[in-house]
A and B are shown apart, each in its own frame.
Chain A
Amino acid sequence: MKVHLLRDGDFGRIVLDRPPANTILQPVFADSGQLSSFLADPDLRGVIVSGAGRHFCGGADIEALRLGLLDPDRLAAALDSGKTLLRLLADSTVPVVAAIRGQCLGAGLEIALSCHLRVAAESALLGFPESTLGLIPGLGGTVGDGDRVDRRARTDLLLTGRMVGAEEARSMGLVDRVVPAGDVNSAAEALLRAWTKDRSPGLVRILLEAMRNARRLPREDALRLETRLFIQAALEAKQ
């Protein structure tokens, strides 16, 4: 799969590109150095993650995965690196929004869940089909790293492997907004614009840093650092 890192004015686009369903050949689906420097651009105000064509991402390519299992140690290392990529998205200090159309399955859903917010088309299909192939998700889907997926819903999706539509996905906490299929990209962009237009880049960065601490650090430490970030924001606002 190719992953395009594009700039479109203030916003960046990460496009998963391997038609028809943008399935993933390698757990390390992008170059982590390129991705982190893309996200670190000081002029970048937000990022939209989407799939080329009709689908977001149909998950891992099963044949590639079977081949990968011939060398389990190497696959394990690759899965770890894949999780590092997802963490780059989740820990980004500019907002990252997933724009989901069509299939968003398995590893695709794990990528989407690493984004800060998910906008889905009414016709989108989401799920963890791994169990129907005798597998489990390999990029954090069983853990739910700070996402808001209802625990019972997650268990249901993981065990049955069934796909759900966008509205049901919303009721489960898998997606945040549901819009008509043609509006997914514009809705994601409108959201990023609304979030950033009246806010300084520094403030957005500080806020996302505080929220990252809340997910990654013990509560006490996150609260202490919030105070520091509050003062930093106050100082920057004064200038």
Chain B
Amino acid sequence: MNALPICLELEDGIAHMILDAPPRNVMDGRFFDALGTIAREVLPGLDVKGLVIRGRGRHFSAGADVAALRKRACHRIDVLPGSGNDDASGQVLPELRSLPDPVALSDLHRNAVVFTAIEQLRYPTVAAVDGACLGSGLELALACRWRLATPSTLMAAPEAAFGLIPGCGGTVRLPQRVGLGAALDLLLTARFVDATEALELGLVDAIVPRGELAQAAVRLVLRLAEVTGGRA
């Protein structure tokens, strides 16, 4: 129970980050703490050919603990009125300037920033996605440069079904990958997409057999390292 929810291994010059809270690899507060440390303090300094992210067991990740996240966001806002006028641009969404609670904001924004840190790594990043890849799990996969799926991969952005929107860059990265129309469709219907459709939409780059996922990810990293000289 005290084991870290993420496991980082180095093998033959490739970093493997394993989401390690089976069976569903749910991303809770502890997960984001660990991910933050790894993404900010460890990964940028590694001299590796690339990074492979996968889930322990049958699933990549079922995403964030939505109920807890929502409760925390609302609770913080209830008890901590604040200024919250640190608007990024000043030109948009004036109604949001009245939103209080810099604490809840920074808390949630911290999670989003971690995904950006992964996106900005200088070496190739590959998400090896088997089984469920939902919500923030999908957002993490989208922060990688490449995504491999298996025939049993299921992807969805189900936030809207909980009355929410993605909070870790999904509204930015999903339309970038699949286009505005397809992104809107996935986000508003919250529907599940199988590997074949994910490939068609451009949500994943290739489908490989389940038993070969790990090797395929390693092969991709090695190939990319060869082609790009190790730059992402």
Contact = CB atoms under 8 A, between A and B. Distances in A.
A223 B164 CA distance: 15
Contacts of B77: 231, 235
A223 B172 contact: yes
B79 interface: no
Interface stretch (B5-13, B32-40, B41-49, B102-110): B102-110
B227 interface: no
Interface stretch (A17-25, A50-58, A205-213): A205-213
Contacts of B73: 230-231, 234-235
Interface in A199-221: 199-200, 203-204, 206-211, 213-217, 219-221
B185 interface: yes
B191 to A, nearest CB: 9
Interface residues of B, number: 44
Contact of A203 (B105, B165, B176): B165
A52 B191 CA distance: 33
A224 B106 CA distance: 9
Nearest to B176: A214
B176 A118 contact: no
A211 B70 contact: no
Interface in A106-162: 116-118, 146-148
A227 B181 contact: no
Q: How large is the interface on A (under 10, 10 to 19, 20 to 34, 35 or more residues)?
A: 35 or more
B180 A116 contact: yes
Interface string B95-131: 0100101001100110011001000000000000000
B160 A234 contact: no
Interface stretch (A6-14, A63-71, A190-198): A190-198
B172 A214 contact: yes
A176 interface: yes
B165 A195 contact: no
A163 interface: no
Interface string B171-184: 11001101111111
Contacts of A210: 165, 171-172
Contacts of A82: none
* 7 tightest Cβ-Cβ pairs between the two chains A and B: A237-B163, A117-B181, A148-B179, A210-B171, A230-B167, A221-B88, A195-B188
Given A117-B184, A220-B88, 12 more contacts: A95-B184, A147-B179, A148-B181, A210-B171, A223-B112, A227-B105, A230-B73, A230-B108, A230-B167, A231-B105, A233-B164, A234-B70
Interface of A: 95, 116-118, 146-148, 173, 176, 191, 194-196, 198-200, 203-204, 206-211, 213-217, 219-238
Interface of B: 69-70, 73-74, 77, 88-89, 92-93, 96, 99, 101, 104-105, 108-109, 112-113, 116, 160-167, 169-172, 175-176, 178-185, 187-189
